[in-house]
Chain A
Amino acid sequence: MMKTTFFSILTMVCILFSNVTGSAQTADEIINKYLQALGGQEKLKTIQTVVMEGSLSVQGFELPIKLSSVHNKGVRQDFSLNGMNGYSIITPTAGWNFNPFQGQTKPEPVTADDINEGINQLDIQSPFVDYAAKGHAIELLENEDIEGTECHKIRFTYKNGKEEFCFFDPSTFYMVRQKSKTKANGQEIELVSDLSGYSPNDQGYVFPMTIGSAMGTITMKSVKVNTTVAETLFTVDK
C-alpha cells in the first residue's frame, strides 16, 4: 500500500489545472504544456507543503487516508481502520511502516531499497519542474492507447536511475496514467495509477482527486497547499 500511495502522492501533487489543447511534437513541448496546464512552473514552485484527505473505497467499505508532505523533507500517509491508526513515512534518509491491522505493535523500518525507491517522491513541486537542472531526463516514446485514448507517452528517468512512464491526454495534457516498476530487495512490482477527477482546490491548485490502482480507488475530498505541517510527523517513536 505504501508504495502505491506514494506514487499517487507524487502524481497528485504534481498536477494542476488548465485546458490546453493542441498537438505536441517533442517531449519538452508536451511537458511544457503539461506544466502550463498545472498553472506554470512558477506556481508549482510555490508549493511547500500539501495535506490531502480522502479515502480508499472498496465495495462500499471506505478506509480514511490522510497524506501530509513537506517539499523534499518528508511524506507521511495515515490511515485508520476500526479505531486503529497506521502510517507510512519516507524521508530522504529513512522510512517507516506501522501497520497495526496486520498485527504490528510498533513501527518497522523500511529497507534502503525502499528509501531509494521512495526518495523521488519527495519533490512535491513536480519532478518535471526544471527536470534537467535536477538531473532527470525525459524521452518521448510512441503513443499508446490508454483506455481508448491515444496518449503521449513519456519516459521519465530520475537522477538516481529510476524510470516512470507517464501518459498524457493529447486534448488536455493531463497526466492520465503513470506506470512504473519498483525494484527493491530483488523483487519487481509494477505500479499503475490512473488519474482523473481533476479539480481546483480553493487556493486554485488543481489535483486529480481520483486515483485508481489495482488495490482500489482513492478519492480525495480536500487538498490544502502550504498549510502548516510539523516536520515531527516524519519521525517515529522507536
Chain B
Amino acid sequence: MMNLKKFIGLNLLIGGLSFPSFAQNTTINASTFGVLEARQLGPGTMSGRISAIEGVVSDPKILYVGTAGGGIWKSINAGASFKPIFDKYCQSIGALAIDPTNAKIIYVGTGESNMRNSVSIGNGLYKTTDSGENWKKIGLDSTEHISKIAIDPKNPSTLYVAVPGALWSDSPHRGLYKSEDGGKTWSKILYINEKTGVADLLLDPRDASVIYATTWEFRRTAFSFSSGGNGSGLYKSTDAGKTWKEITKGLPQKPFGRIAMALAPSAPENLLAIVESENTGLYISSDNGESWKPQSASLNVVSRPFYFSTLVVDPKDAKRVYRPAYSFSYSSDGGYSFTDASSEGGWVHSDHHALWINPNNTAQMYLGTDGGVYLSQDRGVTWIFLSNLPVGQFYHVAVDNETPYRIYGGLQDNGSWVAPSAVPGGISNGDWKSIYGGDGFWTVPDPLHPDYAYAEAQGGSMARVHLKTFKSLDIKPQAGKSDGKLRWNWNTPIVTGAANKGNLYTGAQYLFKSTDQGRNWERISPDLTTNDPKKQEQEKSGGISADVTSAENHTTIFAIAESPLDEKIIWVGTDDGNFQVTTDGGKTWTNTSANVSKTGIPAQAWVSSVEPSRFDKNTIYATFDHHAYGDHKTYLAKSTDLGKTWISFKSSEFTGFAHKIKEDLVRPDLLFLGTEMGFFTSFDGGKQWNRMKNNIPWYALVRDIAIHPKTNDLILGTHGRGIIVIDDISPMRSLTEKEAMQAAIFLPTPPLAISDGEFSAGSFPATGGWVAPNAPGIKPIIYYLKDRPSTGEFSIDILDEQGKLVQKLSNPSKRKGLNKVFWNLRMEPPKTAKGSKVDYATFTAPAVLPGNYTVRMTKGTEVITQNIQLVHDESNPSFSLEDRKARHALSMQLYEMHKNLASLVDELIAEEELLTKLSAEVKKPAYKETLSQSAKALYTLRETLVPVEMKSMFADIRRLREDISEVYVAVCSNDSKPSNLQETRAKDLNEEIKKANEALTSLKTKYVPILNKIGPKP
C-alpha cells in the first residue's frame, strides 16, 4: 500500500499539470465519464424509510417496495433479494398500486406523504405495463405528494389518486383525482381548498362506486408545522366520486387533523379510522361509514397521526386489526385492545409506514419502517429483518486518512455509523458500526486523533466518540450567562478545521470553537442569525397534536467552514438566510447575504453548504435551499472577493433544491453539486453542468459529497441510497478538451506496483444482507474513444520491452468517452496437458517482472500505444525485489515444465491413436501384438502423467500434472520467496518429466522399427 500512496501522488501530479478551461461547445460531459461506474455501498444494516409495499396477489413472492428516497425495489423471491427498478426517475415514492387484473401494470405515485421535515417531493404519477422494465410519466406532475392509489377491481382502467399536495405552500394541485382511461386523462373529483389535500382513500370492494376519502389541512414552514384545520374531514361518495357527503356522525368534534382509514375486506361494511383531533383515537363504523363510535385511544393508535397514517385490517378476519406506527401493534377484537409485537425475532425498528398482507396466506406480511422492511410469518407477532435493502438516508458523509479509509455518516432515524471503505471479501452489513444514536447527521473524524470521531443527534446533542469502544462523551456547548436560550438546528453542524485540523466548530445561533476536542468551548461570534422571534415559537408546533422534536428549530446556524488556506477565515450560513464571514478568527463578522440576494437568490433561503476554495482564500462557493418556502429551485453561487459580489450558477439540467457544492481537490474548475434530485458535475468552473448517471440513480437525493485526498475517490452521502463511491476520479481531472477531440488516446497510467491488490476476495461467498465489492485491487488502464467502434477489430494488448506479446487483454470497453480495461499484471497462462479433469494451472499465469511495458490498442487499422511502468510493490516488507525475482524464476521453470508435459502428453495421445489404428490394420500377428502392446504401454505411461478417466468430480485423481500444478499455483499466487521445499520439489518433478520422456524413447525402440517397416505414418 505504501507504493500505492506514492503512485497516487504522481497521479495527482499528472492530473494537476493542466487545468483546462473548456469552451462552450465542449465534447466533455458527464457521459464522457460514464465508465467510472459508482459502487453502491449501502449498507442494508440500518436500511432506510419505507413508504409503500405492494405484493402481487396472484404470485405473492413478487414484491414492490417504495422508499422515501431510494426509488422502488422489486423482489421476485419473497424478499430474498431486491433490485432497484426506478433509477431513472424521482426517488421519493408515495404510493404503489398493482392492477388486480394484470399484475404487469403498476402505478407509482411519487412524493412520499409522511410529512416530516425532511420529506422529499415527487413529480407525478408513473405507469409501467411490463412489471417495471419501462416506465412512463402519466400526469399529476405538480402534485408533489401522493399518498394513495386505488384501482377499481372490476374496471381497472378506472383509478383514483389521493393527493395531499404541497407541504410547504398553498397549491391548487391537491385533492382526489380520477382517471377512467388508465391514466391518460384526469379529473379532480374532490377538492376543498389550496391548503387541504386528500390523505386517505378506500374503495368498497363490493361496489367501487362507493368511495371513502379523508381530507387533510396541513402545512409546514421553515419554523413550524401544523396538522389540522377546518378543511380536514371524512367524506363518502356512492356514485364513483360525482357527489360527496361529509360524515360526522359519531366522530369527535372538528377540527380534525390527518385521518387514516381501513375497511375489513371480508366484511366491508366495517370501517375503522384514526381521527386526529382534540380526542384523537380509533373510531369504528359498522354501517358503511355512515356512523361511528370511539373504540380505542391506546398510545400507539394515537401517536403522531401526521407521520403514522397506516391502519390495516386482515383480508380474511375482520376483527384482526394492525396498527403499524411508533411500534407495531395488533388487535384481535376489532381494535378495542392492542398488543405490541414481540421482540423475539430481534428489535423491530420504530416508525412504521407501510404494511402488505399476503391475502393468500394472511399470516405472512411485510412491514415498512424508518429502518427498512421486516417480514412476519405469524400475523405480525414476530418479525425478521430483511437486511438487503440499501436505502439508508444519510444526511452527511465524511472520510478519514486511515488505510483503507473509513466512511462516516449519520442517517434519518438511524444514528451515526462508521465503516471501512474496503474489507477482505467486500464491505458487508456487519462492517458498519453504530457509534451514536438518535437521528444521525454530521459524523466527522478527528483528523489528528484517528481513534476519535464527533457525532451528533437532532437538536444539537453531540459527542466525542472513541472508535474502538464506542464510548461517547457529551460535548454539547452550554449557554453562557448572557447567551439566552441556545437554538440548535435539527441538523446542527459540527466540523473540524480545514486549515488547522485541531479546530472544532459547532453552532447554535452563535459559533462555538474548541481546540481540545470539544472538552472546552469558546463562543467566537455574536448571534449570527436574524434572531426573528416570530420564527422561534417551536413549542407551538404540531397543530392539533403537539409535535415538538427540534425538527422545526429555526434561526440557527446550519453551515460552517474554515478556509483551507487561512484558519482565521470562517464562513457561517444560517437557516434564515444570513451568510456571515470573519477574516480574523471571529473577532468581527460581515453578513454577505444581501450581496447574495443581488443574484436573485431569495433572501430567506437556508445556506445549505459552504465550500471555501482550497486554491484561493477569497473564493467561496455555497448552495442555498429555499424549499421551506415552496420553492424547490436549485440555487448555488460563487464569490471571488470574500462575498462582496456573487455570481450564481444556473443550468437547465438542474432539478431539486441544492444541498452541497464541492470543489475538486486538484482541478479548480471541476465542481460537484448534490441536490434533492440529482448529482451534477461541471468541468468549467460552473458554466455548464451535467447530470451524472454512472450507476447513480439519476434523481438521487445527494445530501453530501466528500473527496478522498489519497485515493481520489468521490463519496456521496445520499438520502435514500446510502453511500455511493466513484473510485478514483483522477481521469476527470486529467482529460483535456484537446485530447477529447482525438479519435482515441490513452490517458496517462501512473506507475503500477505489481500486486493483486490489498485484499483477498475471501473464501466462502458472502451470504445475506448487502455486500458491496471493494474497489479493484489493480488500477485499470484508462483510454478515451471519441466514438464507439462498431466495426472491425478492437483489441488491447500488452507487450514487453522486446515487443513480445505478454497478454491480450479481455473485454476492453468500447464506450463513447472514457474507457477502461484491466490487466492482472501477469502473462498468459501456460498450455497444460490434456486430462480428464480441469487443471487450475490452465488459469494461472506468472506475474510479470518490474519494467517498462507497452499498451497497444488496435482499432481497425489504427494502432495506438502507450508505455506503462511496473514497479516492485514496496508496501510488502516481507517480499523484496530479490524475492520477486526468485519467485519469477521458479514460476517460469514450472511454467515451462507444464508446457513440456503438455507436449509430451500430446505426443503420447497421437502415438496411441496411431498405434491403435495400425494394430487394427496390420496383418502380421507379431506386428499387431507389438503395436497393440505398445499402445497400451503408452496409455499406461500417460496415466502416470495426467488423469485420463473421469470417474467422478469427487474422485480427486492426482498425477504428475497435478503435482506440478500444486507447486506452480502456490508459487505464482504467493507474494513471497519460494520455500526451500517448493524449489526442491520443482526440481524433483522436472526429473519426473525427464523420466517420462525417457520412457517414451524406450517404448519407441520397440515399435518404431515396425512402423519403419510397414510404411510412413498416415
Contact = CB atoms under 8 A, between A and B. Distances in A.
A78 interface: no
A82 B905 CA distance: 11
B343 interface: no
B794 A197 contact: yes
Interface string A159-174: 0000101000100101
Interface in B351-395: none
Interface residues of B, number: 47
Contacts of A58: 810, 843
B794 A145 contact: no
A149 interface: yes
Interface in B820-879: 824, 826-829, 832-839, 842-843, 845
A58 B794 CA distance: 16
A147 B813 contact: yes
Contact of A196 (B814, B909, B950, B952): B814
Nearest to B135: A142
Interface in B119-147: 130, 133-134
A96 B584 CA distance: 80
A25 interface: no
Interface residues of A, number: 40
Interface stretch (B168-176, B315-323, B418-426, B783-791): B783-791
B304 interface: no
B791 A60 contact: no
B674 interface: no
B704 to A, nearest CB: 26
B888 interface: no
A216 B811 contact: yes
Interface in B49-85: 76
Nearest to A150: B31
B265 interface: no
A59 interface: yes
B824 A198 contact: no
A148 B816 contact: yes
A100 B838 CA distance: 9
Contact of B834 (A57, A82, A188, A196): A82
Interface in A66-111: 81-84, 100-105
A59 B952 contact: no
Given A82-B839, A141-B134, A217-B811, A169 B788 contact: yes
B681 to A, nearest CB: 15
Nearest to A83: B834
A60 B835 contact: no
Contacts of B788: 147-149, 169, 176, 196
B950 A176 contact: no
Nearest to B954: A103
B554 interface: no
Contacts of A61: 828-829, 842-843, 845
Contact of A169 (B790, B828, B836, B950): B790
B39 interface: no
Contact of B827 (A60, A102, A194): A60
Interface in B683-704: 693
A48 interface: no
B808 interface: yes
A176 B31 contact: no
A201 interface: no
Contacts of B813: 147
Contacts of A105: 950-952
B808 A60 contact: yes
B838 A60 contact: no
A200 B210 CA distance: 66
B782 to A, nearest CB: 14
B953 interface: yes
B789 A196 contact: yes
Given A59-B810, A83-B835, A163-B130, A103 B952 contact: yes
B34 interface: yes
A148 B76 contact: no
Contacts of A103: 837, 950, 952-954
B762 interface: no
B1015 interface: no
Contacts of A188: 76
Contacts of B793: 197, 199, 209
A196 B839 contact: no
Interface of B: 31-32, 34-35, 76, 130, 133-134, 693, 788-794, 807-808, 810-811, 813-817, 824, 826-829, 832-839, 842-843, 845, 909, 950-954
19 contacts: A57-B811, A59-B824, A60-B807, A60-B829, A81-B842, A82-B835, A83-B834, A83-B836, A84-B834, A84-B950, A145-B31, A145-B34, A148-B31, A148-B34, A165-B133, A196-B814, A197-B789, A197-B793, A199-B793
Given A59-B843, A198-B791, 18 more contacts: A60-B808, A60-B810, A60-B829, A82-B838, A100-B950, A101-B838, A103-B952, A104-B953, A105-B951, A147-B817, A148-B31, A148-B816, A148-B817, A163-B130, A163-B133, A196-B794, A197-B794, A216-B811
